[in-house]
Amino acid sequence: MKKRDQWSSKVGFILAAAGSAVGLGNIWKFPYTVGMNGGGAFVLLYFIFLIFVGTPLMLAAITLGRKTQLSVFGAYKSIDHRWSFVGALGVICGFFILAFYSTVGGWILYYFKNTLLGTLKTTDPNILGEMFTQLMNSPKKLILYQFIFLFITMIIVLKGITNGIEKASKIMMPALFIMLIMIAIRSVTLKGSVDGIRFLFVPDFSKITMDVAMNALGQMFFSLSIGMGVMVTYGSYLNKKENILNTAIIIPVIDTAVALIAGLATIPAVFALNFEVGEGPSLMFVTLPAVFASMPMGSFFCIVFFLLVIFAALTSSISMLEIAISYFVDVKQNNRTVSTIIISIIIFILGIPASLSLGTWENVNLIGRLNFFDLYDKLTSNILLTTGGFFLCIFVGWVLKADEAVKEIESSNVTFKLAKVWSFLIKYIVPIAIFIVLINSYKDFILSIF
């Protein structure tokens, strides 16, 4: 059998896994989703899910990959072929996430170009709002920038997993982190920001509803990149000596830290500068330029910031494309280059209606009341990833068996002190919690279709 590539070191794995997790989900999606879902109540639920569902699942995913040494489809299949459909689910999910992810990646590229030209220097909500609306109503620009984003993703993937990108993230990711902290400091020191900090961290318990829980769980899956096989596949490149236990904790910690700091960079400024917290997907694009405009050397930081966000988005988008490709190459034995190009073209076409959805095609709905952007978003976060996570815990807890998984975790000579707690969570708590929320997600999804 052909020997598989392995990460040259555990750092390589952590960089790639954290690179996949940290992306637009943290910087763009988390703040506006908090804004649309009642602030602190959402954040509280997010944390509960993170500790009791997300982190145990992260460990389950990495363990499954490391044990089988196969990418997601093969990992399920090698243990029980009847479960390979879960891998297939992940592949489908990858197509749809990347379709709308590349749309937003395109917006970032466009804003990056604009900041280079220096056209964003204002704190006026109306002007910044108008700028975003104008972009949303420029089909050619939207499609062009979406294309460029996907094209860059495709080129990186064509070069294979071990190439420069993970190494570059050693510098880019910490830089992004520091940059976000600087913006957060500016945001929380703006006059009137206290209301925003309160909104973010003080839960209003009356806002806790099934819908908020559904969005918190969906956001968590999206942000951690779990539920579609990225972490299984990346874990499969780890060798048996590595301690996977601490890795499975480090990634959610980094991911959540970035999301929270992005929240602190955005939401207090929303309150201080009179933006609209429930604004939706445009929130970051109207608020952050205003924060930069009120910072010394703001134009420079704004350029650096958008550049770093492009980088973070790319390390996530390549992981999605990898999943789709690994199926066609590893399982179907297709040519890698040809598969990559064909898949990218399909995703580009799928993404076009999503790109147009916030402007000219706002009211064009394929099915029911959702435009394409919302359809892809809800379908992936609330339905496909969450369902994938449900099957993952059932599979690891009951098919592979939690005890076997613990053996795998301990095979690198670590003692898993919380093995019993983890097994209990994976076998009972995680599937039950996901199931309860999933019923609501399916109901919500079906109702918004009919």
As a whole number of angstroms, the distance between CA 429 and CA 435 comes to 10
For the chain, the distance separating the N- and C-terminal CA atoms, rounded to the nearest angstrom, is: 50
Measured at CB, which residue is nearest to ligand PFF?
25
Distance, C-alpha 294 to centroid of its chain: 29
Taking each helix axis as running N to C, give the angle between helix 84-117 and helix 125-136, from 0 to 180 degrees, rounded to the nearest 10: 120
Binder of ligand PFF out of 18, 26, 352, 395 (CB under 6 A): 26
Nearer to ligand PFF, 222 or 422 (CB): 222
Of residues 196 through 235, those in contact with ligand PFF by CB under 6 A are 222-223, 225, 228, 230
Binder of ligand PFF out of 266, 287, 316, 423 (CB under 6 A): 316
As a whole number of angstroms, the distance between CA 191 and CA 178 comes to 22
Binder of ligand PFF out of 12, 19, 25, 54 (CB under 6 A): 25
Nearer to ligand PFF, 72 or 400 (CB): 72
Question: Which region among 1-9, 17-25, 136-144, 152-160 touches ligand PFF (by CB under 6 A)?
Answer: 17-25
Neighbours of 111 (CB within 10 A): 25
- The count of residues interacting with ligand PFF (CB under 6 A) is 15
Nearer to ligand PFF, 45 or 228 (CB): 228
Binder of ligand PFF out of 319, 382, 386, 423 (CB under 6 A): 319
Nearer to ligand PFF, 21 or 188 (CB): 21
Query: From residue 273, how far is each of 32, 133, 378 by CA, in Å?
Result: 16, 19, 30
Q: Is there binding between residue 20 and ligand PFF (CB under 6 A)? A: yes
Q: Is there binding between residue 21 and ligand PFF (CB under 6 A)? A: yes
As a whole number of angstroms, the distance between CA 350 and CA 17 comes to 26
The answer to whether 429 and 385 are in contact (CB under 8 A) is no
Question: Which region among 19-27, 174-182, 195-203, 293-301 touches ligand PFF (by CB under 6 A)?
Answer: 19-27
Taking alpha carbons only, the member of 268, 285, 311, 299 closest to residue 18 is 311
Q: Is there binding between residue 355 and ligand PFF (CB under 6 A)? A: no
Contacts of 402 (CB under 8 A, 6+ apart): 396, 422, 423, 426, 427
Structure tokens at 10: 């555990």
Q: Is there binding between residue 320 and ligand PFF (CB under 6 A)? A: yes
Q: Is there binding between residue 145 and ligand PFF (CB under 6 A)? A: no
Structure tokens at 311: 């980088």
Nearer to ligand PFF, 252 or 298 (CB): 252
CA angle, 240 then 3 then 229, to 5°: 65
Of residues 380 through 409, those in contact with ligand PFF by CB under 6 A are none
Nearer to ligand PFF, 222 or 306 (CB): 222
Write each residue from 232 to 271 as x if it is in contact with ligand PFF (CB under 6 A), else as -, in one continuous string: ----------------------------------------
What is the nearest approach in angstroms of ligand PFF to the Cβ of residue 26?
5
Neighbours of 33 (CB within 10 A): 26
- Residue 18 phi, psi (nearest 5): -70, -35
Q: Is there binding between residue 32 and ligand PFF (CB under 6 A)? A: no
Of residues 81 through 110, those in contact with ligand PFF by CB under 6 A are 97
Q: Is there binding between residue 193 and ligand PFF (CB under 6 A)? A: no
Q: Strands, E, within 115-229: which ranges?
A: none
Question: Which region among 176-184, 267-275, 315-323, 327-335 touches ligand PFF (by CB under 6 A)?
Answer: 315-323
Binder of ligand PFF out of 7, 18, 19, 23 (CB under 6 A): 23
As a whole number of angstroms, the distance between CA 371 and CA 377 comes to 10
Nearer to ligand PFF, 356 or 384 (CB): 384
Distance, C-alpha 405 to centroid of its chain: 26
Structure tokens at 73: 């489809």
What is the nearest approach in angstroms of ligand PFF to the Cβ of residue 421?
26
Query: At which residue do the structure tokens 């050619």 appear?
Result: 140
Eight-class DSSP state of 331: I
Site residues (vs ligand PFF, CB under 6 A): 20-21, 23-26, 97, 222-223, 225, 228, 230, 316, 319-320
